[in-house]
Chains A and B, each alone.
Chain A
Amino acid sequence: MKIGILSKRETGFAEKMQSYYEEKGFEVTIYTSRNLTVNKMLLENDFYILKSKQLLFLYAGYFLKANNIPVIPDPSISYKHKHRIESYYSIRNVGLNTPDIYLGTPKTIKSQFKQLDYPFIVKPLMGSSSEGIRIIKNSADFDSDENKILYIEKFIDGIHYLSYFIDKHICVGEKQPLKNEHSEVKIVPPDEDIKQALIKWRDKYNLLFGHLDMIREYKTNNLIVVDSGTFPEFTNWKIIIDPVSTICNLILERYREMANIV
């Protein structure tokens, strides 16, 4: 069987999956932006793993799906969980809390809020890591480009959690605000509401694995989801289950279901 992995890099989790599958006798190609051509040449593989959600890989995922080649995770779900507005609605559809969100130019944003309303977080409209994210503590912190459309969220003051799930397994760590998945975390036993949030999220979108970034707000003790992702690197997965083999096997199982192979 031939497997394609759509990934922004050849290293990390993509490389580990490649090694795992090759040891099992599969033929695996990793497609990065340097060697990915999206046309009928791609149809030679039996199925694809959508590791990255950058636009080119999403396009490839949609193209493959339209041509009846299974893609795991599903490209539509991956897009929705990467796009901030779609993700906001996806989170709320599960009954989970989100921060208040807004769109506007620095000029319109400044005209809407008083100093007491700050701080806010600026995030790129498409993105699910910490890249391009910054805190706006007051109106002077905005860029000089007054006409640029910005997505902003109310900053939540609280404990930040990186919460992974793989099938029924959960790994939760406390992390520093605005740090990415790879920064140091302190593994903690998951609170019941964190577990329930992950289960709801997984079941609603039929996910095999993924992550949610959540904040326990100091003021209210509410759990608020601030980010989601369909395929993290699992850098801070620190429980006994091996993420690579477990995920590779889950993907194979899902592929067999999709291809009706018993």
Chain B
Amino acid sequence: MKKLGLIIDKYHLEKKAQEFIQYMRDKCELSQYIEETYFVDYKEHNFDEDIFFVKGKGDLILNFAKLLERATDIPVINSTKGIWFAFNRFLNSTLLRKAGIRVPEFSLNPKDDKPPFQDYIVKNVRDQDNYAFDPEVQIINNHVIVHDKRALEETYEKNALYNFLYYQEYIESEFEYKIYGVGENLYYYKQKPLLREPNKMKTRTKIEPITELGEIAHKVMELLDLKITSLDFLNSDDNIYYLTDVNSTPNFNYMSNGPQIIGEYLLSQAKR
């Protein structure tokens, strides 16, 4: 029987991965490395897993995965490179734009400067913690201004992490397109954007593949070295798709048969 190592934090373990774990218990031997209770000794290189699955992006998770990548030949999905690019919004936007993938205009500005566009969203600089986007929306002189509450906290509160803000140009779109990528396979959904419908999941529907989005999704996964991902797109008034978010730890419970699809894919990538 193959052995899968699950590198995870308590939040994902309790809230997101139970169905996956249950499914995998019948399919393989499963070991768990939980961020809050695992101790990483960089001299320790003896692991007998056939594959590791990283479900989280905390510092211990990421740096334990680095040890596995450097010191063993066991596949690690997603790679630390992919996770790092996914949560560093500015870096993935920079890299994607360089590769010709359309992303909204973006900028990093000192916290008291005005951004270079009139309609914008302030997002957290690094999307590393377990936190859902919590927007405050304002319409000022017909311009849409959205602040994620945590982004402001991270910059303006007493123990501020940053003295700058990440701005992304706001794209008006009737739907948000969510593409899940699992290896070569893509799964297409659409829903109302959060700013139009607070309970956006209620509006989610499975859709037929959109060739253009599929091509972009494969390119993004290759560029960022992501084997499992979810990508968010908006479709502007002039019918252009913009990639607005890259996620390295998607909630696959929202896909039909998500835990099974992920589980079977991981086992297909195991080293034996």
Instruction: Say yes or no for B110: interface residue by CB 8 A criterion.
Output: yes
Could you tell me the distance in whole angstroms from the C-beta of B232 to the nearest C-beta in chain A?
21
Contact among A39, A63, A149 with B59 in the assembled complex (CB-CB below 8 Å): A149
Instruction: Say yes or no for A66: interface residue by CB 8 A criterion.
Output: yes
Instruction: Say yes or no for B184: interface residue by CB 8 A criterion.
Output: no
Nearest opposing residue in chain B for A104, CB measure: B39
Cβ of A111 and Cβ of B39 under 8 Å apart? Answer: yes
A39-B116 in contact given A103-B59, A108-B39 (Cβ < 8 Å)? yes
A66-B95 in contact given A59-B90, A105-B36 (Cβ < 8 Å)? yes
Contact among B64, B94, B162 with A103 in the assembled complex (CB-CB below 8 Å): B64
Query: Count of B residues near A, CB < 8 Å?
Result: 36
Cβ of B98 and Cβ of A103 under 8 Å apart? Answer: no
Could you tell me the distance in whole angstroms from the C-beta of A103 to the nearest C-beta in chain B?
4
CA distance A104 to B34 in the complex (A): 11
Instruction: Say yes or no for A67: interface residue by CB 8 A criterion.
Output: yes
Contact partners of B59 in chain A: CB under 8 A: 103, 125, 149
CA distance A104 to B163 in the complex (A): 28
Instruction: Say yes or no for B91: interface residue by CB 8 A criterion.
Output: yes
Give 24 A-B contacts (CB < 8 Å), ordered by A residue: A37-B109, A37-B113, A38-B108, A39-B107, A55-B162, A56-B163, A59-B91, A63-B94, A66-B95, A85-B63, A86-B66, A101-B42, A102-B39, A102-B42, A103-B39, A103-B40, A103-B59, A103-B60, A104-B39, A104-B60, A105-B37, A108-B38, A109-B39, A149-B58
Interface string of B121-134 (1 = CB under 8 A from A): 00001000000000
Q: Which residues of B contact A (CB under 8 A)?
A: 35-43, 58-60, 63-64, 66-67, 70, 88, 90-91, 94-95, 97-98, 105-110, 113, 116, 125, 162-164
Q: Which residues of A contact B (CB under 8 A)?
A: 33-39, 41, 55-56, 59-60, 62-63, 66-67, 85-86, 88-89, 100-105, 107-109, 111-112, 125, 147, 149
Cβ of A36 and Cβ of B110 under 8 Å apart? Answer: yes
CA distance A147 to B116 in the complex (A): 40
Cβ of A100 and Cβ of B110 under 8 Å apart? Answer: no
Contact partners of B41 in chain A: CB under 8 A: 100, 102, 112
Cβ of B110 and Cβ of A37 under 8 Å apart? Answer: yes
CA distance A81 to B38 in the complex (A): 26
Contact among A33, A41, A66, A112 with B94 in the assembled complex (CB-CB below 8 Å): A66
Could you tell me the distance in whole angstroms from the C-beta of A40 to the nearest C-beta in chain B?
9
